[in-house]
Structure 1
Amino acid sequence: MLDFLLHLDQNLTFLMGEYGVATYAILFFIIVLETGCVLTVFLPGDSLLVVAGAGAASGLLHLSWLVLVFFLAGVCGDILGYAIGHHIGLRVLRERFPEIVRTEQIERTTRYFARFGKKAVFIGRFIPVIRTFVPLLAGVGRMERRAFATYNILSAACWALLMTGAGYLLGKLPWIQEYIALILFVVLVFTLVTLMVILAALVHGTWKKKLIRGSA
């Protein structure tokens, strides 16, 4: 493990070369969850795109593939959020997960819809947390699907290009290039650990509720 960390840049380059498809699949999966599932709203979104873009500047990843993956993940994530809002509804989520689906977040997102209307789908893409709740409320409110799809696709394309492009430009800086392997490694590990903690908490909460119902 120590040798891996000491030669992190070389090892990450080797691993991403050998398991490139898996790397992009993990990034896709993370962004879909961060964008479309309120239960995993704590996962990194903007920061992951920027760091991945910086990694592309150092040759660890391919910029064109990153933009495509993040674009598709953004679109799919919003579709997932819309579907959850449309088919499950806000009331069920607030009853089962009140510690995550909080009133202040719902009210803040509702204000964005009241102010910007359908354009909130586009604008909300660039605002953490709001990004996750916008498609959910769009589904709850039965927003017209063609308008939702249009703003979803446009915002995902702009988001992927701007955030990944900004990271790519930052990655050209010498001091960023020196530490980008470590930064990317830390971000990915932190993301996966956060995801495991969230899933463990959800499983524990569900199991605890079943025990309470069974003993009632």
Structure 2
Amino acid sequence: MSALLSIFSALWHQNLLALQQADLSLLYLCLGLLIFVESAFIPAAALPCDSVMILCGSLAALGILNLYMVIGVLVLAGWLGSIAAFYQGYHLKESRIVSVWIGKVSDKQWQTTDRLIQKYGLLAMFFARFIPVVRSLLPMVMGLRNTILPTRFLLTSPSSALIWILCLIFSGYGISLLPEHLSKIVNQLLMLAPLATLFIALSSIALGGWIRRRANHKHKIAKIKRVKE
């Protein structure tokens, strides 16, 4: 257990010296667990999985990790994590607390959500991979609303995980080939990218909610004026 904790700590702090000395089998196991947990559970969104995958690309370029092995482990972990999130939503709809929460959302809003998931769900799942929180939230909502067949989800989820992981792994691989001063700058920018996309996503949701509330408020005021007249 202490060996696993030391590897998790080294990944969190991106301690290359400690990772070079780590047991490879335990290192692959820790990487898989990180990606699985972060893809499956919303509270795990704080885990630095995007930056860890970029680090994996750099480690593969240095010969510390096998490129094909690490890609296989991470894709499998991301796929299984999405499946776990999907089935959480599938079973949570029977929960009393979740049923109360669902009841607070209007049927019209759920119908709109269902239509969007049916039309763009699989494409959205691909883009959601690059946004922390959303990559575990979207599969959960898909399972909760049951708008996509489980078999279809199972077959398409690996492709989104593969593209997401390849983008980050090869970004890290390419960074290691740059001059040191440039690689540090690019690496920092790539690590900040997920936070930027999350900020944009949350800002868009907040702005959309504000616009809807404002429109509803204006509608109520107009309705009151018509009644008074």
- Do they superpose with TM above 0.5? yes
Q: Which residue of 2 aligns with 1:12?
A: 19
Q: Which residue of 2 aligns with 1:132?
A: 136
The code of the aligned residue for 1:24 comes to Y
* Cα distance change on mapping 1:131 and 1:178 into 2, 3 Å: closer
CA deviations 1:19-44 (Å, max 9, x no partner) are 11110101100111111111212212
Tell which has more relative contact order, 1 or 2 (C-alpha 8 A, sep 6+). 1
Alignment of 1:1-216 (within 5 A): 9-15=16-22, 19-89=23-93, 113=117, 116-142=120-146, 143-175=148-180
Structure 1 residue 146: deviation in Å?
2.3
The code of the aligned residue for 1:154 comes to S
Structure 1: runs of 5 or more not aligned:
188-216
Structure 1 residue 14: deviation in Å?
2.6
Structure 2: runs of 5 or more not aligned:
1-9, 192-229
Larger-Rg structure: 2
Structure 1 residue 114: deviation in Å?
7.3
Tell me if the contact between 2:176 and 2:183 (Cα under 8 Å) persists in the aligned partners. Answer: no
Q: Secondary structure at the match of 1:60?
A: coil
Q: Which residue of 1 aligns with 2:3?
A: none
* Cα distance change on mapping 1:130 and 1:9 into 2, 3 Å: closer
Runs (4+) off by over 4 Å: 8-11, 90-95, 176-179
Tell me if the contact between 2:89 and 2:143 (Cα under 8 Å) persists in the aligned partners. Answer: yes
Provide the rounded CA distance (Å) in 2 between the counterparts of 1:10 and 1:40.
26
CA deviations 1:75-107 (Å, max 9, x no partner) are 000011011111123966769xx9xxxx9xxx9
- Normalising by the residue count of structure 2, what TM-score does the alignment of the two structures yield? 0.60
